[in-house]
Structure 1
């Protein structure tokens, strides 16, 4: 390149009058022309090097391996077509149309955690700094690691997968048998009848999935076929992996064995597609971990450790904050196209801790725990507005991108994992505890509101402006505040229990037809009501029932079981169809319109929480088990050890 530049310069200046080939004796004006030409040539060369489509390999020569450089992928038209196709494929996403925005009212039924709506996107263009662009925004892709890095990571991982984890020793560490003395069977006839009904619903949902969608990610019960989508990057069988522990807990052993055989013979982890880090972690990693801990089947451990290794390249960013999307085959990661300024989402990178600590447990490799502890360190270091955690963070700079705070979609499970990390550590992870209670104090001061009718709710915060709306996803917080009540200041225990009960009551009030809308408001005279047509759908979500289950275990107030039974009856009346269960488009409509999707989390969470609600407390006792955000039970780590930097590696007793 230098030789070419030198030759070109020599040829150019031979043509200038009075200038020698050596360039000596230049007048001032000629020197200016010379410098102008040289700078243009250098800019052209290096511009081509960095921006031509085929220059990725050359760029690796010049870029630091520790940095992830965004590149623009394709034209705007190509990207628009790609994202429109992606939106159609993500009809069951927890809430990122992509995490686990929405392009139309029809696609509102797509979302699950974290959730984003057109309304939210419009609001963000007004409040909180850089605007969320529409779905045609160029997504920020990154070559997340070089070949050398991936080889090193793989070598380190394989060197530690020959573990000495003793499953029999682990079982002896449990304070109580996982399935109770009689599998949690209640002695009360009515409660037992209700539990049996939930079990029948699970078998009905499973049998139809097996008949019409076996191996696909989810069942479309109206058209009696399967749905794949692209949320899991080519992974299949999401409903199977999500259902493993539910089937086992309910004693549906034949069905569990079918699921286990499929995982062993057909779950192909060598996929090459665009996967949500969040969704793969909570559903596949969480599902395989819980299946292993409940059954001791070594196959589940092998599978989950192989999958865990494939997620590590997402963390190869300047800050160690993972990007939201990863190609499980190549290790390339990037941010969601709709996420402002290529940011990562709080509820996504904040919902890894439980699973990753257990990956370290099983692999004897601390790298997983180190990754999530690094996230902790960064969040502790940066300034938080009014003590609150905004939903968007740059994985490059480590700074907040917008000041939108929500306990519902985009933020929810981050807070859940703080208190659950503390509980899972056998109450020794003081850092998680302090972060949780500091966050809860800020939430109470800024977000918790009381409606004119006396209902307690959690509003959303947009740079200091309150939006008096609460999402269905935020209804998990009743249970979250409840399970943390015993571990704050002793004098505040009753206060936290009261707050948990009030939030759960508000969410029950939103269930006007015994099923609740996606979001409900407390402004313009509304009280826990979806005033907008686009908020009226219900996609078999579990969050309200989740809070019922926790509040029952904490208080044994019979109203929670009664409320749970109301939900069972409503699911049977409105959501049960000929070949499974389907979400509905409008919870207030007299004539039911179904969305033709049996979500995998309906099997993993909604029916599991209902089954636990009607079981005795010794079925998966909370002293021994913590549920991840997909309701997969993970064991409490007894007698863990810590270092000065925190719990970098924890040993199960």
Structure 2
């Protein structure tokens, strides 16, 4: 049974988003939101969805909330408990202690990585290594840390197989065999946060060194514009495209430059983060009909090669704020706020020339809320919380299904057509972003908070 909206409710959603949009920047907090109540609402909905996951898909990678079925994510026919692992940190900060402990117990009893099958190196790291490291920091359980280390050691084989230390896209978790050397910036450069914290916990700097080496290899090949092509070959070490991207194929690479400074005080990574963001602003920023976008460009000439932007790119607004380019971050956030105003749910991909959707499906994307959180952490302007409240209400109104929250199949219809999948990141990312911003939970020190690209809490727990 799909969750249906009346026409009046849908129009109210669109009207609410419209009233909230302020072109060109962030205005002062209007003071009309009861954020504590919103925090309780987020917690209640998360608990409701979790109960359905326990009932319908316990231990499975992902639940399909419309049909009440489940699916594998990493390996066909094999579960690695993806949604469960990703939910642990969120369960902990929401003080859902019985549910958290049941998840910890499942991991200790059932999660085994000795599997003779290939798993995607990047996704396995950000989702499972990160989720397990975060769960260990919350629980203090040494068995959880042992499992995180075991998995990271298996992923390290993907780095070791390359003459340049660039991880192959897939690695066999049992044998260490690798495949798919044609990779990209995100998949070679999103390890430093998880590997670095793991290395600190187990007293082994090999993990962070491997992660940084891969990032430096790509950074050393920047063009005279300071840009990198998004695609690279793990065996030759050379770029295999000319497209510089801030979202698909590249996004978290840039996040982890700054995160490495924030988490570990790596000044070299801080410099690279600032240089890369400045080059992106200077050579990729293009304005169409008053909106700033950062589409794909030729990394050597700066000419636009693909006039589209995905919802993933919203993270960049938050990163800009972190590296000291807050005005540019607010400007880019306003672009996505415009899309939220016009379409209620930000399109998965947009033609930047016309600001129209390039497709009608969406995947319960969290990047707008992520950007708002990072910008809010910078100056505590409550306006970012107001914008996130709109994002939360729109998601709740359109994506709630019989057994949880689902991706959408068509954002153009009223009510919006629902798909049938809750991605694992929903449990770790936007529900955590919402709760952190609205509830100000007691188990997190917001001034010390450090999140991975998958929103695993890697610093800031209060126990």
1:400 is paired with a residue whose SS is: coil
In the aligned structure 2, how far is the partner of 1:458 from the partner of 1:591?
31
**Which residue, 171, 186, 191 being the options, matches 1:326?**
171
In the aligned structure 1, how far is the partner of 2:127 from the partner of 2:255?
16
In the aligned structure 2, how far is the partner of 1:379 from the partner of 1:522?
27
Q: CA deviation at 1:257?
A: 1.2
Tell me which residue corresponds to 2:10.
Answer: none
Q: CA deviation at 1:189?
A: 8.3
User: Are the aligned partners of 2:182 and 2:231 in contact in 1 as well (CA < 8 Å)?
Assistant: yes
**TM-score normalised to structure 1 length:** 0.63
**Which residue, 485, 494, 517 being the options, matches 2:347?**
517
In the aligned structure 2, how far is the partner of 1:588 from the partner of 1:346?
33
In the aligned structure 1, how far is the partner of 2:96 from the partner of 2:266?
36
In the aligned structure 2, how far is the partner of 1:265 from the partner of 1:274?
22
Q: Which deviates the most, 319-328 or 462-471?
A: 462-471
In the aligned structure 1, how far is the partner of 2:255 from the partner of 2:445?
18
Alignment of 1:500-515 (within 5 A): 500-511=329-340, 512-515=342-345
**Which residue, 34, 50, 67 being the options, matches 1:190?**
34
User: Are the aligned partners of 1:424 and 1:625 in contact in 2 as well (CA < 8 Å)?
Assistant: no
Alignment of 1:40-59 (within 5 A): none
Alignment of 1:188-337 (within 5 A): 190-231=34-75, 234-315=78-159, 316-335=161-180
Alignment of 1:424-573 (within 5 A): 424-425=263-264, 428-452=265-289, 454-462=290-298, 464=301, 465-466=303-304, 467-485=306-324, 496-511=325-340, 512-523=342-353, 526-527=354-355, 529-530=356-357, 532=358, 535-573=359-397
Structure 1 runs (4+) deviating above 6 angstroms are none
Tell me which residue corresponds to 2:444.
Answer: 620
Indicate whether 1:382 and 2:221 are aligned: yes
1:437 is paired with a residue whose SS is: helix
Q: CA deviation at 1:352?
A: 0.6
Q: Which deviates the most, 497-506 or 564-573?
A: 564-573
In the aligned structure 1, how far is the partner of 2:332 from the partner of 2:443?
26
- Deviations along 1:256-283, one digit per CA (max 9) or x if unpaired, are 1111111111111212212010111001
Q: CA deviation at 1:359?
A: 2.3
Q: CA deviation at 1:634?
A: 0.9
2:106 is paired with a residue whose SS is: helix
Indicate how the Cα distance of structure 1 residues 395 and 497 shifts in structure 2: closer, same or farther if over 3 A, else same: same
- Deviations along 1:494-542, one digit per CA (max 9) or x if unpaired, are xx1111111111111111232111011221xx23x21x3xx22221110
Structure 1 unaligned regions, length at least 5: 1-187, 336-341, 486-495, 637-653
Q: CA deviation at 1:581?
A: 0.8
In the aligned structure 1, how far is the partner of 2:112 from the partner of 2:416?
38
- Deviations along 1:327-376, one digit per CA (max 9) or x if unpaired, are 101100111xxxxxx42211011101111112221222222122123224
Q: Which has the higher contact order (CA 8 A, sep 6+)?
A: 2
User: Are the aligned partners of 1:238 and 1:600 in contact in 2 as well (CA < 8 Å)?
Assistant: yes
Tell me which residue corresponds to 1:581.
Answer: 405
User: Are the aligned partners of 1:232 and 1:279 in contact in 2 as well (CA < 8 Å)?
Assistant: no
User: Are the aligned partners of 1:234 and 1:272 in contact in 2 as well (CA < 8 Å)?
Assistant: no
**TM-score normalised to structure 2 length:** 0.87
2:439 is paired with a residue whose SS is: coil
In the aligned structure 2, how far is the partner of 1:232 from the partner of 1:563?
38
In the aligned structure 2, how far is the partner of 1:621 from the partner of 1:461?
39
Give the number of aligned pairs: 425
User: Are the aligned partners of 1:513 and 1:570 in contact in 2 as well (CA < 8 Å)?
Assistant: no
**Which residue, 179, 191, 208 being the options, matches 1:369?**
208
RMSD: 2.0
User: Are the aligned partners of 1:281 and 1:355 in contact in 2 as well (CA < 8 Å)?
Assistant: yes
Indicate how the Cα distance of structure 1 residues 398 and 211 shifts in structure 2: closer, same or farther if over 3 A, else same: same
Indicate whether 1:594 and 2:418 are aligned: yes
Tell me which residue corresponds to 2:453.
Answer: 629
